[in-house]
Structure 1
Amino acid sequence: MTAVLPATGPTTVAAVDLDRTLIYSASAAGTTEGLQVVEHLDGAPLSSATPASWELLAELSRRAVLVPVTTRTEAQYGRVRLPVVPRYALCGNGGVLLADGVRDPDWDAWAAATAAEAAPLPELLAPLEAVAGEPWVRTVRAAEGLFGYLVAHSRDGIPEDWLAATTDAATAAGATLSVQGRKVYVVPAGLSKAAGLLRLRRLLAGEGPAPRLLCAGDSLLDAPMLLAADAAVRPAHGELHEQGWTGARVAVTDATGAAAGEEIVRWLLARA
């Protein structure tokens, strides 16, 4: 990690969640007209953003250290075509650090030790695998050997009683449950975007002052990161919005869908 740190610490870090914050599936975007495809899967368009947000994101990366912070695995993150290649990216809910596109092994060791503070991964996966054969479930997977998630065919198809029971089981196992669209994540509580980002912030600071931290995100897994920021913004949609969640230094967009993604980049750029 030390070899890729700057000689002098940056003044501002802009940490941005990807899905439903910066990039959007067709169902989450609100519209497909005029959007720029930024991710393909098996040759088919998967995620988009407004062209303006992509242009502004390149400008943001010139004014601040842009750090994508995502629950996606390294491979899933690699499908997204950003207008610039960020020097740092946090994948696996903070459990994987890419520095100049290269995975950092020391960070992997830290993440494994942190995840070990919760129940073993098979125990975290058990409530998800117990319903893997149900018609509403598309797939159940482990991510980076650190946490598990379930993908349903639709958000409406996920039984609320199962969610409640699985939330209780996750809490008892030292984990956090989060619903993001049709995905249900069960993640060790200590393995958070906030923990990873604050660790990276300390490393970037070196012996100097910590850089100012700007954050954006839409889900329960983003909430600690937003609260830890010097200033933050969330879209007027998603898991946090549905719960009416806010914070003293957390702004909320006027727009929803892909338009909110553009508003978020403009908000960050105005403060970088």
Structure 2
Amino acid sequence: MTVLFASDLDQTLIYSRNSMGMDVTEEELVEVERYEGKPLSFMTKKSQLALWNIDDSTFFLPVTTRTQAQYERVTGIFEGQQPPRFAVISNGAVILENGQPIKEWSDQIRQTCTNRKTVIKELLPEINRHFSEDWVVKVREADNWFVYLIIDRARFPEDKLDFYTATFKKLGWGLSLQGRKLYFMPESITKAGAMEYIKTHIGANYVVAAGDSLLDLDLLESADYGMLASHGEAARNAAPISAHIRKTENYGIKAGEEILARVAEISLQRQ
């Protein structure tokens, strides 16, 4: 039996110093990402070893909202090991095979976004109409797939988030607030859709998925077994989840250890 382990990266398997929590020592950490010459993201050594030692019958699929350039910075996860053959990036808009985008997949997603008018040129005027410059620090485009705002959380009117979510949903966009980033994602770009493509391609019989944010919920719902990090946006917002999804007992970087330990157990059970 082939098990597919499809997992988000940031705040699920890898963590910044601000997100890792307090119950970890410096000696437990291993750097997995460096940006502009400075360490940016970490795993525990225990998590890294657990990922490397996953049973050969289990196929690891990174599934991330990161762009290709951002994903390629995360080299420390696989240092000294063979990186995964496939990776889902840009929230599912792009699938990499041996580091190269699968053109037919991205072309299909691009056409769907165009048909539904969920493209950036249609979105930006709506952002400018609804959002105040008082709390929008930067507006960034991710490889022409989606938009995220860098915001001032102290000024951001969180009491209006439900209103913003409903407003943009009518236009075909989903919102996700993660730290200082507010994502605007076309509803046709999903992690679950890309995961299903890989599941079929490799002939996986069972899917384990892990994540922390609202953008991960479709992935977890599509899996046979899901793990939701208890510190994340989805758990904090009490988002409804199905019975096959379990919240982690641990928070922060220790949740990553818990997730990988559970994957190891499932891999052995499914042999």
Taking structure 2 as the reference length, the TM-score comes to 0.88
CA distance in 2, matches of 1:203, 1:118: 29
Residues in 1 aligned to 2:194 and 2:58: alpha-carbon distance in whole angstroms: 18
Distance 1:62 1:157 in 2: 48
The one-character-per-residue Cα deviations of 1:23-67 (angstroms, maximum 9, x if unpaired) are 111111113632222111101111111111011111127341100
More divergent stretch after superposition (113-122 vs 19-28): 113-122
Following superposition, the deviation at residue 213 of structure 1 comes to 0.7
Per-residue Cα deviation, 1:235-264 (whole angstroms, up to 9, x for no partner): 111111112233210111111000111111
List 4+ stretches of structure 1 deviating above 6 A: none
CA RMSD of aligned residues (A): 2.0
Q: Partners in 2 of 1:226 and 1:157 — Cα distance?
A: 32
**1-structure distance, mates of 2:139, 2:5:** 32
Question: Does residue 33 in structure 1 map to residue 25 in structure 2?
Answer: yes
Pairs within 5 Å for 1:104-183: 104-116=102-114, 117-129=116-128, 134-153=133-152, 155-183=153-181
Describe the shift of the 1:185–1:19 C-alpha distance in structure 2 as closer, same or farther (beyond 3 A). same
**What is the aligned partner in structure 2 of residue 255 from structure 1?**
250
Aligned partner of residue 22 in structure 1, secondary structure: coil
CA distance in 2, matches of 1:243, 1:220: 9
Q: What is the DSSP-based 3-state SS (H/G/I as helix, E as strand, rest coil) of the residue aligned with 2:18?
A: helix
Q: Which blocks of at least 5 consecutive residues in structure 2 are unaligned?
A: none
Q: Aligned AA for 1:144? A: D
Cα separation, 2, equivalents of 1:267 and 1:186: 32
AA matched with 1:24? Y
The partner residue of 2:260 within 243, 265, 271 is 265
> Does residue 230 of structure 2 align to residue 232 of structure 1?
no
**Residue of structure 1 equivalent to 2:187:** 189
Amino acid at match of 1:21: T
The alignment status of 1:49 with 2:16, answered yes or no, reads no
Report if aligned partners of 1:72, 1:93 keep a CA contact under 8 Å in 2.
yes
Amino acid at match of 1:249: H
Q: 1:65 to 1:129 in 2, by over 3 A?
A: farther
Distance 2:131 2:101 in 1: 31
Shift in Å at residue 234 of structure 1?
A: 1.1
* Residues 157, 267 of structure 1: alpha-carbon distance in 2 compared, 3 angstrom cutoff: farther
- 1: distance between equivalents of 2:73 and 2:10? 12
Q: Which amino acid aligns with 1:253?
A: T
CA distance in 1, matches of 2:13, 2:125: 32
Q: 1:162 & 1:244 partners in 2: Cα distance?
A: 17
- Where do 5+ consecutive residues of structure 1 fail to align? 1-9
One-letter amino acid of the counterpart of residue 101, structure 1: G
State the 1:98 CA deviation. 0.7
**How much does 1:161 deviate?**
4.7
Further displaced range: 31-40 or 67-76: 31-40
By how many angstroms is 1:133 displaced? 7.6
Q: Number of aligned pairs?
A: 258
- Map 1:95-110 → 2, pairs under 5 A: 95-110=93-108
Given that residues 213 and 231 in structure 1 are in contact (C-alpha distance below 8 angstroms), is that contact kept between their aligned partners in structure 2? yes
